[in-house]
Structure 1
Amino acid sequence: MYFIRLSFFFFVIFLLIQCDKKSADEVNAEPEKSSDSLKILEEKKKEEISISYHPEIINHQDSALAEFQNKYSEEEIHAILAINRLDFKNRWRADTLVVPDKIVKDFNVYSPFPKYVSEAKNINKLALFSYPIHAYALYENGNLIKWGPTSMGKKSSPTKTGLGFTNWKKKIAISTSNSEWKLRWNFNVFNFHGIGWHQYDLPGYHASHSCMRLLEEDALWMYSWGEQWILDEKGTKILAKGTPVIIFGEPDFKSKPWKELLKSSKANDYSEAQINNEIKPFLEEIMKQQDIRKEYLQSKRDSL
């Protein structure tokens, strides 16, 4: 009997040792699992940074502007002005600036456009211009790659809405409205209307003569990003169109929608469904022109 009890005692001890060993193994394995989980959480946080906004009163006072410029770095000022649809030259035009509580380097964090649009998944490149919120967005295969402020046609000379395609481009174009106006990094969209995107003043309201004004750095970046049309040798026939551009929405020439961000950080946001609805009516034509361009370029490569 004593032997049986002793054997049972050692058996229990053995089980306890095994349990302790298993627990230790599980504890040792946990850092690796939690590390992976932390990485996932960190990536998720990057994607879902919560942004809120507060007002900063400028009131056209030199002292207030000087204080504002001393408070923020050049990069931060650029982001704040862009959110308020202003360039540095026109910074004095705002009585009150809408300022993010958290200023991050990735400007796409402040985007009112969705990060992904399913209707555009097969479109190589797509530019969208929203009249209502004074902003543009660039997509590649449905993924948002860039957004920024714009000033579009004023009430007396509205920007043509609908589908267009980038045509010719010129580093400095002279305005047909005033020969003294030099339009830098000009990319034509509606050829016969003389409408395109280019660098020019962003005063915080729609002020152009039909074109889509951009910040200097945005116009320069998009000058290289957009694709020109392809013409025949005589330059009289279009063989392939450039990058599709959709201009949409009803403009409100009095309101400044970004000020609504003070009430809700999502006030200017478009949902994916809303942007899909803007693309759908033009999708067939966009894909048709994209295929024509692809086939033409492939035939040129084959002939070499």
Structure 2
Amino acid sequence: MKKLIIVFGIIALTLVSCKNGDENNADKKTAVRKKVPVRKEPKNVSYTLESAKEWLKKNKSKQNLKISLAVNRTDKENFAKMDSVIIPTDLSGDIVFYLPFPLQVDFLQNVDKIILFSYPTQAFAVYENGILIRTGPTNMGKAKDPTPTGLFFTNWKAEETTSTFNDEWELKWNFNIENKKGVGFHQYELPGYPASHSCMRLQEKDAKFLYEWADQWVLADDENVKFKGTPVVVFGSYDFDAPKPWLQLIKNPKALAIPESEIKEIIMPYLSTILKEQEKRKKT
């Protein structure tokens, strides 16, 4: 999805297309830890394969639908079109227990804000000082237009834009993370697999949350960025030739779980940069 943008006086053509770090030192000032929210854990997390149409006829609960949409990495419109869907047998818990990210990552305790996008699991997570405050499904770049991986920072945003790649594509709650390549996250339909032109598609409620929660960059002048926005780390790869990875949950409910140790390994090379940029913003 591509969009021509002029950003805050920086005259640039921008396509909206959908080193080392070190561990936290004892010398670093420890952040005030965010209180861990109280969440309801389901008694059992297991999954079955069901007919989407039949399941929708029997289930009218908004909470049940919310969880089922997230598990299938889709939205309500596309969910109804699917032949079969994976459904948790116990839908009584909070959504965090059905998605792969850990509830707490101590390694991130000094990072005020960070957004993680997992390519292999097609899910995102938002952490404040190492505490998971939001998670949900995403559909990222398709095989021909993959989402780039690595460390990015949110920069400019637009509540609503129209794609120049296709003028029928309306992008809501768009937040750019790569100005030259035009990669960002925004609301758009979720067919249940990576289908975008490199951007990270989100359900509207999630896109709106991130739009309001994340920080924009601050410009020093027409040519230079004074402070970067919120760090965003995109990681992993997706096997486009294999079945949808969440189908593995039927045999192994923990098949997609992302342990704290993996997040630490992923973030380690970027931690120094993240903390330096965070300190710059705090000094204003």
Aligning the two structures, in what range does the TM-score lie when normalised by the shorter sequence? 0.7 to 0.9
1:167 aligns with 2:167: no
Q: Spell out, residue by residue over 1:110-160, the C-alpha distance to the aligned partner (whole angstroms, 9 max, x if none).
A: 231111112211000010001001110111101111111000010111111
SS where residue 192 of structure 1 aligns? coil
Q: Does 1:131 align with 2:103?
A: no
Gaps of 5+ in 2: 1-36
Aligned-pair CA distance for 1:245: 0.2
Shift of 1:79: 1.6
The residue identity in structure 2 corresponding to 1:157 is: D
Which amino acid in the other structure matches residue 51 of structure 1? Answer: V
Deviates more, 1:260-269 or 1:99-108: 99-108
Tell me if 1:253 matches 2:240: yes
> How has the CA–CA distance of structure 1 residues 238 and 110 changed in structure 2, closer, same or farther, with 3 Å as cutoff?
same
The structural deviation recorded for 1:165 is: 0.2
- Taking structure 1 as the reference length, the TM-score comes to 0.77
- Residue of structure 2 aligned with 1:71, choices 50, 56, 59: 59
Partner in structure 2 of residue 101 of structure 1: 89
Q: What is the identity, as a one-letter code, of the residue corresponding to 1:242?
A: G
Q: 2:172 aligns with which of 170, 184, 187?
A: 184
Shift of 1:95: 2.2
What is the distance in 2 between the residues matched to 1:45 and 1:187? 29
Other-structure match for 2:48: 54
Match of 1:279 in 2: 267
CA deviation vs aligned residue, 1:224-257 (integer Å, no higher than 9, x gap): 111000113x443211000000000011123311
- 1:93/1:203 contact within 8 Å kept: no
TM-score by length of 2: 0.82
**What is the count of residue pairs matched by the alignment?**
247
Residue 138 of structure 2 is aligned to residue 150 of structure 1: yes
Matched position secondary structure for 2:172: strand
**Pair 48,69 (structure 1): closer, same or farther in 2 beyond 3 Å:** closer
Task: Please identify the structure whose Cα radius of gyration is greater.
Answer: 1
Give identity over the alignment, percent: 46
CA contact (8 A) 2:99 2:123 kept: no
Inter-CA distance 69–239: structure 2 relative to 1 (3 Å threshold): farther
Would the aligned equivalents of 1:69 and 1:77 in 2 still touch at CA under 8 Å? Answer: no
User: Which protein has the bigger helix share?
Assistant: 1
| 1:194-233 equivalent positions in 2, closer than 5 A | 194-232=182-220
In 1, Cα distance between the equivalents of 2:138 and 2:90?
23
User: Does the CA contact (< 8 Å) of 1:49 and 1:109 recur in 2?
Assistant: no
Aligned with 1:193: secondary structure? coil
Cα distance, 1:67 vs. partner? 5.3
Displaced runs of 4 or more, over 4 A: 43-49
